[in-house]
Amino acid sequence: METLSLIFMAIGLAMDAFAVSVCKGMTQSRMNWGNALKAGLFFGVFQALMPLIGYWAGVRFHHLIASFDHWITFLLLGFIGGRMVVESFKEKEQQDCSFGLRSMFILAVATSIDALAAGITLGFLETNIITAVVLIGAVTFVMSFLGVKLGHLFGSRLSSKAELTGGIILILIGVKILLEHLFVI
């Protein structure tokens, strides 16, 4: 996978964590940089670990599905992106305002499930996983850290737009991969 596509994938995958970080930031009466760091670390680490696990599975089983892996990639990214687009239009439930370890752990796992599926596609595409994991983790860290600050400043106007944008990015990457494998582009 080329570097630019990988950067866009990292941004798309980080949008869930960004949206949650914005919501968390909205609940702070004053800006707490420790909480922003905690959000960045939790979300960044989990977003980096999950693709690594998915990559291992993708590489391990790639030989069984090599002839149609581009369709699986397209469907996985389309599903993940489509789900994010749909979620961006739904009424948001009340978020857990806590930055406690239990709350952050649960949210980090929940927002990184899509990164697990993306890791599978990275395995199919024989991507350099070290580069991908570092990039996904770093992008998520920065976006989550900034999300807490932006949430504190601007409120709920950002979270649904972030999720919508991330979903569209993932769908477009899936379409691009499919079209490349079908020799359309």
- Interval 155-169: pLDDT, tens: 655 566 777 777 788
Q: Which of 151, 178, 157, 167 lies closest to 21 in space, CA to CA?
A: 151
How high is the pLDDT of residue 61? 78
Model confidence at 35, pLDDT cuts 50, 70, 90, reads very high
How high is the pLDDT of residue 94? 55
Find out whether 37 and 147 touch, Cβ atoms under 8 Å: no
What's the average model confidence in pLDDT over 58-68?
Answer: 76
Name the DSSP class of 99.
-
Distance CA 48, CA 134 (A): 7
Distance CA 136, CA 7 (A): 8
Is the pLDDT score of 92 beyond 70? no
Distance CA 177, CA 71 (A): 9
How high is the pLDDT of residue 133? 95
pLDDT 10s digits, 130-154: 999 999 999 999 999 999 999 888 7
